[in-house]
């Protein structure tokens, strides 16, 4: 399993940690289009379900991706 360090500037997220690190165990990034089809914030079980359902969601630019693990503080 890859071990990726995520830096994030969204400091009103529950998982945001000091020095702009993401403190979540894992995150789900999808296309904006796919993100709109699911609840605003997803937990690990919902992440597994979404990945199983939608599989791959290519986008032409980084501006069309979204972190679905975001949860407002
Ligand atoms: S869950 Fe997403 S929005 Fe929240 S800190 Fe991590 S990367 Fe940023």
Q: Global pTM? A: 0.89
Contact present, 68 and 22 (Cβ < 8 Å):
no
Which atom of ligand 1 sits closest to the CA of residue 17?
5
Distance CA 40, CA 25 (A): 18
Across-strand partners of 66?
Answer: 30
pLDDT over 90 at 4, yes or no: no
Segment 43-57, tens digit of pLDDT: 889 999 999 999 999
H/E stretch holding 47: helix 44-54
Cβ–ligand 1 contact at 22 (below 6 Å) = yes
| pLDDT tens digits along 5-40 | 999 999 999 999 999 999 999 999 999 999 999 877
Say yes or no: CB of residue 8 within 6 Å of ligand 1: yes
Q: Where are the domains of the chain?
A: 16-67
Q: For residue 13, give the ligand 1 atom closest to its CA.
A: 4
């Amino acid at each position: 399993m890859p071990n990726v360090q995520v830096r994030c500037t969204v400091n009103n997220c529950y998982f945001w940690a000091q020095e702009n690190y993401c403190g979540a165990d894992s995150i789900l990034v999808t296309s904006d289009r796919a993100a709109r089809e699911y609840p605003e914030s997803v937990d690990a079980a919902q992440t597994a379900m979404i990945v199983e359902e939608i599989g791959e969601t290519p986008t032409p630019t980084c501006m069309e991706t979204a972190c679905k693990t975001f949860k407002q503080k």
